[in-house]
Amino acid sequence: MAETRLPQADAYTLILAAIDEGIYKPGDRLVESELAERFGVSRTPIREALQRLETQSLLSRDGRSLIVASLDHNQLAELYVVRAELEGLAARLAARHATVEEVRVLRDMVAADRRMVDDPAALSRANKRFHKQIHLGSHNRFLVQQLDLVHRSMALLATTSLAAEGRGGEALDEHAAIVEAIARGDGDEAAEALKAHISHAFETRLKLESGDRRRVGH
């Protein structure tokens, strides 16, 4: 019976999802044979997917081995600067272009997410969905593509800053303020509210890192 062959794009998606979910953390070694066994596919699409991830700087070389990349302080700061600007632009455009239905979905997300405030892992997943919905609400495909690249790099942050004491509730209040600015069509306020939200997340990360060196992300 022929060995199952998964398309490269699917193998890539599976490995990226495993990194994003923390199955593979920064510094973990990725081995073709082990990945092929885990996902039940041949090694060729796995190899191609690993090459693609390395090209995107999500994996790095440690001798002959490929490991999940990590971000140093400067790279992290650079990532948050770009993320804040692009997310702010998405909020500004969403205030201009989001439909009534899209705004209603955002409001419903905030309300539903409040029930997860004591579950950082679930809240982190919900947070990604919320931000993605704002990206889509911008109705600008090129901006959405760039934000997808930024959030791909966020997968290199192994855990979530939403686990910090009190941060979950604060983040949701910030989400609510962003949504209301979008609903009013106030692009300037929406952009500033979202940029401030990203700034608070980065500040929380830095404070957590100063207390211990475990990597956290938001």
Residue 189, domain extent: 73-217
Q: What is the pLDDT of residues 109-126, one digit of tens each?
A: 999 999 999 888 889 889
Q: What is the pLDDT of residue 218?
A: 58
Domain boundary among 47, 68, 89: 68
Do 118 and 211 have their domain in common? yes
Do 121 and 180 have their domain in common? yes
Identify which has the larger pLDDT, 181 or 61: 181
Asked whether residue 215 carries a pLDDT value surpassing 60, the answer given is no
Q: Is residue 2 part of a domain?
A: no
Identify which has the larger pLDDT, 2 or 15: 15
- Tell me what percent of the residues of the chain surpass a pLDDT of 70: 89
Q: Is residue 181 part of a domain?
A: yes
Q: Is residue 161 part of a domain?
A: yes
Asked whether residue 17 carries a pLDDT value surpassing 60, the answer given is yes
Query: What is the average per-residue pLDDT within 171-187?
Result: 97
- Model pTM score: 0.81
68 three-class SS? strand
CA distances from 209 to 117, 160, 164, 206, 216 (A): 22, 12, 11, 5, 8
Asked whether residue 128 carries a pLDDT value surpassing 60, the answer given is yes
Q: What is the pLDDT of residues 63-110, one digit of tens each?
A: 888 999 988 889 889 999 999 999 999 999 999 999 999 999 999 999
Asked whether residue 6 carries a pLDDT value surpassing 70, the answer given is no
Domain boundary among 68, 102, 119: 68
Contact 97, 138 (CB under 8 A): yes
Which residues on adjacent β-strands are paired with residue 60? 67
CA–CA gap between residue 122 and residue 136 (Å, rounded): 21
Do 99 and 151 have their domain in common? yes
Domain boundary among 46, 68, 90: 68
- Which CATH number fits the domain that encloses residue 47? 1.10.10.10
Q: What is the pLDDT of residue 29?
A: 94
Do 112 and 207 have their domain in common? yes
Q: What is the pLDDT of residue 208?
A: 76
- Which CATH number fits the domain that encloses residue 193? 1.20.120.530
Do 119 and 166 have their domain in common? yes
Burial 181-208 (b: 16+ CB within 10 A, else e): bbbeebbebbbbbbbebbebbbebbeeb
Do 106 and 187 have their domain in common? yes
Asked whether residue 150 carries a pLDDT value surpassing 50, the answer given is yes
Contact 178, 134 (CB under 8 A): yes
pLDDT band at 160 (very low <50, low <70, confident <90, very high): low
